[in-house]
Amino acid sequence: MTKMTLTPEGFETLETAIKDNPVLDNAFRLMTDADLLIRHERYASALALAVLSMEEIGKHLLSVWSKDDPGFKYNRHKLHRMKQGAVAILFMADRARRDCKANGIDFSDLGTPEKMAHLGRTMKAAVDKEIFLVGSAKSGVIETVKHSGLYHDDGLAEKGIGPSRITADNAGEIMQKCSRAFMTLTDERSVSLAKTFFSIILHKEDAPKRSAEHA
Within a domain: 207: no
pLDDT at 1: 44
Q: What one-character-per-residue DSSP string does 17-38 give?
A: HHHH-HHHHHHHHHHHHHHHHH
Confirm whether 180 is domain-assigned.
yes
In a domain, 214, yes or no: no
Write out the residue range of the structural domain in which residue 23 sits. Answer: 8-201
Is 209 within the bounds of a domain? Answer: no
Predicted confidence band of residue 209 (pLDDT cuts 50, 70, 90): very low
- Closest to 198 measured CA to CA, from 30, 78, 3, 62: 62
Whether residue 1 is contained in a domain is answered as: no
Number of structural domains (the chain) is 1
Q: Does residue 212 form part of some domain?
A: no
Question: What are the pLDDT digits (tens) for 134-174?
Answer: 999 999 999 999 999 999 999 888 888 899 999 999 999 99
Region at 41 (left for phi over 0; alpha for psi -120 to 50; beta for the rest): left
Q: What DSSP string describes 122-147?
A: HHHHHHHHHHHHHHHHHHTHHHHHHH
State pLDDT tens for residues 58-74: 999 999 999 989 889 99
CA distance 184 to 189: 10
Is 203 a residue whose pLDDT tops 80?
no
pLDDT tens, 70-104?
Answer: 889 999 999 999 999 999 999 999 999 999 989 88
Question: What is the C-alpha to C-alpha distance for residues 36 and 32, in angstroms, rounded to an integer?
Answer: 6
